[in-house]
Amino acid sequence: MGEDRKEGLSRRKFLLGAGALAAGAAVTGGALGGVKESLAAGQPVKVTVNGVEIAGPVPARIEKGTALAPVRPLAESLGARVGWDNSSKTVTITAGTGAKVATAPAWPWPYNKLDPEKVRKLGYEAYYEGGCMYGAAKAIIGALQQEVGYPFTLIPVDMLRYGEGGTAGWGTLCGALNGSSAAITLVCGKGVYSQLVNELLGWYTQEPFPSKKHEAYSKFKNQIQNVSGSPLCHISVTEWCKVSGKKVTDPERLDRCGKLTGDVAARAVELLNAQADGKFVAAYKPSELFAGCMSCHVGKDSTLNNVQGKMNCVQCHEPHIK
């Protein structure tokens, strides 16, 4: 073992927590790494954890090519608890998952470009596991869990199940938008995520759903499409039921929303990929009529600055200037 094994090269990578059980077993059964064979037996050696030397009343040393170190400072500096079981004369180390030890790395987390078509299918499938918000987030974060692993493995995507049906069925924000926006924000810092989320919502209001890109695996084929003009689940689903003649709880409607979940997650990935390449350009433009509404009502530079939102006014309000 020489320079090529300098910090960062490892023979095995293990999971913390329950995984550490398997890890311990694997270590017991596997070959154990000798350190520098050329060092004299018993020679003291430095041991660092994240660059900081650990020390004890008994120094770390090399014996038979193996580094030995004091258990407590080593284990505790890795976030584990150390105990002593007198009856079995055993030093008991408990990995950090049982205590206040692990934290998330600094936000935003580094993005790794994904395949939108892979994510589209994952979104469709995950919709049937946990609904639209979970489905979209699982498609993107789950793909990052598969392809990158840590730190994305820290995210319990289940915490986003509530967004189904526009949040517990209330028909507010489309859950696929809600879940995709969470995934976007996880990997984009200030000044970036809001641009991408804004673009995603704008695109959604003008896009025909569901796309025809799920035909190979979807339960229902060639479904009728609609452009809802709104990021609200209420309008998206109700209008689709109107044009399709299906009821809200029909399996065809569920399949339509499963496809939409994949479509929105895939679009989010296209935006993230463009951003990663430095090529993101906002394309969404409100209609001329709606832009007219906003010029008077929305934003600090508007005449009245008295309306909060970017949803198309004339879906619910009569236009008062023709």
According to CB under 8 A, which residues from 276 to 315 bind a second copy? 298-300, 304-311
Please work out, in degrees rounded to the nearest 5, the angle formed at the alpha carbon of residue 148 by the alpha carbons of 116 and 158. Answer: 75
Structure-block tokens of residue 198: 């804004």
- Does 74 sit near a second copy (CB under 8 A)? yes
How big is the site for a second copy, counted in residues (CB under 8 A)?
154
Specify the stretch interacting with a second copy by CB under 8 A; choose among 117-125, 181-189, 258-266, 271-279. 181-189
Which part of the chain contacts a second copy (CB under 8 A), choosing from 115-123, 168-176, 265-273, 286-294? 168-176
CB atoms within 10 A of CB 209: 21
Distance of alpha carbon 142 from the chain centroid: 7
Nearest distance from C-beta of residue 191 to a second copy, angstroms: 11
- 32 or 216: CB nearest a second copy: 32
Neighbours of 161 (CB within 10 A): 19
Give, for 250, the enclosing helix (H) or strand (E): none
The verdict on 1 binding a second copy (CB under 8 A) reads: yes
Q: Which of 132, 143, 182, 254 binds a second copy (CB under 8 A)?
A: 182
H/E segment holding residue 31:
none
| Contact (Cβ atoms closer than 8 angstroms) between residue 263 and residue 213 | yes
Nearest Cα to Cα of residue 270 among 133, 115, 112, 125: 115
Q: How far apart are CA 228 and CA 205, in angstroms?
A: 6
Please give the residues from 101 up to 120 whose contact with a second copy meets the rule CB under 8 A: 101-105, 107-109
Q: How far is the CB of 87 from a second copy (least distance, A)?
A: 8
Of 136-165, binders to a second copy (CB under 8 A) are 148-151, 153-156, 158-165
Nearer to a second copy, 173 or 266 (CB): 173
Torsion of CA 97, 163, 223, 204, to 10 degrees: -110
Judged by CB under 8 A, the residue of 86, 216, 278, 318 near a second copy is 86
Residue numbers 224-243 binding a second copy by CB under 8 A = 231-234, 236-238, 241-242
Phi, psi (rounded to 5 degrees) for 92: -105, 120
Site for a second copy in 186-215 (CB under 8 A): 186, 190, 193-194, 197-198, 201
Q: Is the peptide bond before 151 cis (omega within 30 degrees of 0)?
A: yes
**Rounded-to-integer distance, Cα 11 and Cα 16, Å:** 16
Q: Minimum CB separation from a second copy for residue 114, in Å? A: 16
Tell me how far, at minimum, the Cβ of 320 lies from a second copy, in Å: 16
Q: How far is the CB of 216 from a second copy (least distance, A)?
A: 27
Judged by CB under 8 A, the chain residues 37 through 56 that form the site for a second copy are 39, 45-56
Q: Is the Cβ of residue 87 or residue 222 nearer to a second copy in the bound state?
A: 87
Q: Closest CB to a second copy among 217 and 303?
A: 303
SS (H, E, C) 169-209: CCCCECHHHHHHHHHHHHHCCCCCHHHHHHHHHHHHHHCCE
The mark string for 238-267 relative to a second copy (x by CB under 8 A, - otherwise) is x--xx----xxx------------------
C-alpha distance from residue 290 to each of 6, 115, 137 (Å): 61, 34, 30
